[in-house]
Structure 1
Amino acid sequence: MILSSLTAISPIDGRYSNHTTKLRDIFSEYAFLKFRVKIELLWLKKLLTLNEIQISLKENEMINYHLDEIINNFSENDAQNIKKLEKTISHDVKSIEYFLKDKLLKILGKHRIINFVHFSCTSEDINNLAYSLMLKTARDKIIIPIWENIIKEIKKIISNYYNFPILSRTHGQPATPSTIGKEMVNFSYRLERQLKQLKQINLLGKINGSTGNYNAHFSAYPNINWHKVSQDFVTSLGLVWNPYTTQIEPHDYISEFFSCIARVNIILINLNQDMWGYISLNYFIQKNNSNEVGSSVMPHKINPINFENSEGNLGLSNAIINHFVNKLPISRWQRDLSDSTVLRNMGVAIAYSIIAYDSLISGIQKIRVNEVQLLEDLDKHWEILAEPIHTVMCKYGIPNSYDQLKLLTRGNKINSAIIHSYINSLTIPEKEKIQLIQLTPMNYLGLSTKLAKNFKNQKYYE
């Protein structure tokens, strides 16, 4: 059977492959090999700059040219050759080393510099840097842009409906009104905080040998400051240097990275569920696509499938992420291999998130606010004005105000006439009565309109 979107086991590469193909250049086996080849050869280039290696300037320039050519022209055929070696020797990084030495032998002949491929490195020196670069690429090119796009779509709702009233529901029951814009501000603000945190997470790397102490490096060249060489190399990759590790970089930053993604996913699950509920209440109307089918037997249905799809895939992503967060920072003594197979699934967790993000954006773009339904629902619930009336009664020292209004409104059908009659019966200043009578469920909005308007005009985080 030929592998295709129809025969793939995972929906990541099957049903939802159109959402995840952009991740293949970062998290596929080919991409992982390419990142590791790059690290190996950049480390070799770093060694060539050390006086103790004794390579002439002319040789250095020639070798660097060929190393850059191998990096820039790394192909799927090269990756296949590495995999063939791995099948024989059963070691992925050693296969890369053999591949590169063979490639350089054909280019340079029996040049002594070939012996410096993978010099003093343990496999994890290469792998940890490759993974860090993979996450950096995913964050900068995929995750940040799509988070910003989600926030942008939410802000469109804020801008269009910052002042449009909506009946709030606390514990699912009618409660003090808000505005559509303000309710979306709540989500946008939460997401922007997490976006800022993701940008600030340091992506770490190390290159310090078998147990983190430069033992092999020092035995060969004791006069080189390997700690400084390690720092310079890691930072040259655009990463933050971790100076103290065992054989592995301990992955704390990976836990931090994915914890941030998980928090955003939880916020978006909350948003998906709220939007699903609002659609159920007919507060939002979905666009009617005449070509789509909502049910195999009920012709009338337009289901909120984008929000449901997003919620489900966010849950799958977080299930994997939770294992990352709990597993990756732990390694027995100086190293065990239980993290290796887990790390290879980073792209899986991100893929489920990307599927969810795309679905959420699509869902938001398909909805519009049902202004008529919102106003009708507000007009059915004049009992919510018991709150401001009670508050004003407290202001003027009227005893048992809460209990009086509880008796009037709780479980009873309330309309404007009943509310106005009660207000007129109060022993409070006439101006207070006038202000209370002017209140309706549609305009009892507090500062919600102002809060939403201010938010849409400001950028809280750069």
Structure 2
Amino acid sequence: MPHDVTPAPRPRRSLAETGIALGPLDGRYRAAVAPLVDHLSEAALNRERVHVEVEWLAHLCAAGVVPGAPALSDADVAYLRAVVDEFDAATVAELAEIERVTVHDVKAVEYLIRRRIDAAPAVLGDSTVLPRVAELVHFACTSEDVNNLAYALMVQGAVGQVWLPAARALVGDLAELARALADVPMLARTHGQPATPTTLGKELAVLAHRLDRQLRRIERAEYLGKLNGATGTYGAHLAAVPGADWPEISRTFVEGLGLTWNPLTTQIESHDWQAELYADVARFNRILHNLATDVWTYISLGYFAQVRGQGTVGSSTMPHKVNPIRFENAEANLEISSALLDTLGATLVTSRLQRDLTDSTTQRNIGPAFGHSLLAIDNVRRGLAGLDADPAAMARDLEANWEVLGEPIQTAMRAAAVAGVPGMENPYERLKELTRGHRVTGDDLRAFVAGLGLPDDVAARLAAMTPASYTGLAAALVERYLA
């Protein structure tokens, strides 16, 4: 029997208590995604919960809804809003302390605000009415009334203030590069085979146009919210104050937060708007993934040289290499982001009966979903910034593939046949016989054209054509349609 030579595990010092991040977004890639922390972190969620609770209290008092509730002074409202504005690490720690007792995150937020209200006279003087309205904190609310509004505000802020500006800057970079390369001819490759020439700028413009279209959809996104109680019936609201128009009070409150009011829900806001938004962001991701793989391929063909940033190490063993790592990194992060966004969209639209808790854990992954996308955007921008086109490399490929002119020649023959020029029979088949499976030269094609009997102007136009000049309206399309 062989001896077991597996070494015994050696005791190692634990890293679990050091505060080291478990995932790369809070570790290696923190700098690229840090702006999202203000919007999509757990601390940001609690700050928005405080925001919603404070504004609901102020809204109830301003509307005079609850009999006997006094109006708040400007100083009272400013004091309450300062709880949101001054939300910091110490507040996070205080909330954690309260939650250890409540074992309920939203209830902890309610108790935090009540603590601040209890402390108001020491700051504002005995004239403040805040202690008299303490019972209106979280009035008639279920936790989801607060959570759905908090998440809507978080995602709206993350998209509008962080993700969209980064994505817009990327599309701007790409459009600028497309315009600069609009008239640089390039051999196209349909199915990976030499095909009708285009320009490098036109191909980049297609991707910029596609990405821009998705951004315009995302810019039009609705962020829905509701505040209607434990099962969406305003039951507690009516039980406490039966004479109030609670749907109207809810509508004005939600819209006052800058959100779109959802009038008909169960306990939860239905999250359909999130699924719609995440589908659009995932589609943007996938188009950007297409860009990354295409640019990677152009680099491998030599059409782009990675000439800037040469101080970096490309390969650990091959000194000549500059690897297209920015685009490869982007591909991976876009795939992770899209998978998370797909899962969010699929999970959030379903809830058992009037409520289950699957959305709670799911929504805590909104940050990573946008984080991986933002990281990819950063990588693509940095990758594009390090590229220089090599027109000479593209010209060599064009010169080696004169057979691509079979298309314009046979098409001109078809037009001539319709115009009544004799000898134009079977143009496609004749060009197929000449070009398929053969390397042809410019001289071969010019000789073929000369023997066709085409009108002189057509023959001269075709004889002057080269693969590099056969780019159609590619350059003009960039100028005309790339907004």
Asked whether the two chains share a fold, i.e. TM above 0.5, the reply is: yes
Q: 1:417 aligns with which of 443, 448, 451?
A: 443
Q: 1:141 aligns with which of 145, 149, 161?
A: 161
Deviation track 1:201-223 (CA, whole Å, cap 9, x = no partner) reads 11111011001110000010011
Match of 1:219 in 2: 239
Q: CA deviation at 1:153?
A: 0.7
Q: 1:284 to 1:151 in 2, by over 3 A?
A: same
Q: Following the alignment from structure 1 to structure 2, what is the Cα–Cα distance between the partners of residues 288 and 67? A: 52
Partner-residue secondary structure (3-state), 1:298: coil
Q: 1:97 aligns with which of 87, 110, 121?
A: 110
The question of whether the paired residues in 2 share the 8 Å contact of 1:163 and 1:452 is answered with: no
The question of whether the paired residues in 1 share the 8 Å contact of 2:326 and 2:382 is answered with: yes
Q: 1:266 aligns with which of 270, 283, 286?
A: 286
The question of whether the paired residues in 2 share the 8 Å contact of 1:48 and 1:60 is answered with: no
Q: Following the alignment from structure 1 to structure 2, what is the Cα–Cα distance between the partners of residues 429 and 62? A: 88
Q: CA deviation at 1:290?
A: 4.1
Q: 1:114 to 1:281 in 2, by over 3 A?
A: same
The question of whether the paired residues in 2 share the 8 Å contact of 1:207 and 1:234 is answered with: yes
Q: 2:330 aligns with which of 310, 318, 322?
A: 310
The question of whether the paired residues in 2 share the 8 Å contact of 1:288 and 1:302 is answered with: no
Q: 1:188 aligns with which of 203, 208, 216?
A: 208
The question of whether the paired residues in 1 share the 8 Å contact of 2:329 and 2:379 is answered with: yes
Partner-residue secondary structure (3-state), 1:176: strand
Q: How does 1:142-291 map to 2 (within 5 A)?
A: 142-291=162-311
Q: 1:25 aligns with which of 38, 55, 61?
A: 38
Q: CA deviation at 1:3?
A: 7.1
Q: CA deviation at 1:432?
A: 1.2
Q: CA deviation at 1:381?
A: 0.4
Q: CA deviation at 1:66?
A: 2.4
The question of whether the paired residues in 1 share the 8 Å contact of 2:310 and 2:322 is answered with: no
Q: 1:391 aligns with which of 392, 408, 411?
A: 411
Q: CA deviation at 1:427?
A: 2.5
The question of whether the paired residues in 2 share the 8 Å contact of 1:4 and 1:14 is answered with: no
The answer to whether 1:400 aligns with 2:426 is: yes
Q: Following the alignment from structure 2 to structure 1, what is the Cα–Cα distance between the partners of residues 82 and 178? A: 50
- Pairwise CA RMSD of aligned residues? 1.6
TM-score (norm 1): 0.95
Q: CA deviation at 1:71?
A: 2.1
Q: CA deviation at 1:74?
A: 2.0
Q: 1:37 aligns with which of 50, 66, 73?
A: 50
Identify which range, 408-417 or 108-117, moves more after superposition. 108-117
Identify which range, 108-117 or 215-224, moves more after superposition. 108-117
Q: 1:83 to 1:69 in 2, by over 3 A?
A: same
Identify which range, 312-321 or 387-396, moves more after superposition. 387-396
Q: CA deviation at 1:4?
A: 7.4
Q: Name the aligned partner's letter for residue 183 of structure 2.
A: N
Match of 1:80 in 2: 93
Match of 1:298 in 2: 318
Q: CA deviation at 1:104?
A: 1.3
Q: CA deviation at 1:178?
A: 0.7
The question of whether the paired residues in 1 share the 8 Å contact of 2:38 and 2:44 is answered with: yes
Deviation track 1:355-390 (CA, whole Å, cap 9, x = no partner) reads 100000000000010011011110110000000011
Structure 1: give runs of 5+ residues left out of the alignment: none
TM-score (norm 2): 0.91
Q: Following the alignment from structure 1 to structure 2, what is the Cα–Cα distance between the partners of residues 20 and 74? A: 21
Q: CA deviation at 1:103?
A: 2.4
**Segments ≥4 residues shifted beyond 6 Å:** 2-5
Q: CA deviation at 1:52?
A: 4.0
Q: Name the aligned partner's letter for residue 152 of structure 1.
A: G
Deviation track 1:181-208 (CA, whole Å, cap 9, x = no partner) reads 2111101111111111111111111011
Match of 2:462 in 1: 436
Q: Following the alignment from structure 1 to structure 2, what is the Cα–Cα distance between the partners of residues 258 and 177? A: 36
The question of whether the paired residues in 2 share the 8 Å contact of 1:128 and 1:205 is answered with: yes
The question of whether the paired residues in 2 share the 8 Å contact of 1:150 and 1:361 is answered with: yes
Partner-residue secondary structure (3-state), 1:12: helix
Q: Name the aligned partner's letter for residue 182 of structure 2.
A: Y
Q: How does 1:345-356 map to 2 (within 5 A)?
A: 345-356=365-376
How many aligned residue pairs are there?
455
Q: 1:190 to 1:4 in 2, by over 3 A?
A: farther
Q: 1:329 to 1:383 in 2, by over 3 A?
A: same
Partner-residue secondary structure (3-state), 1:396: helix
Match of 1:51 in 2: 64
Partner-residue secondary structure (3-state), 1:49: helix
Deviation track 1:256-275 (CA, whole Å, cap 9, x = no partner) reads 11111101000000000000
Q: Name the aligned partner's letter for residue 60 of structure 2.
A: L
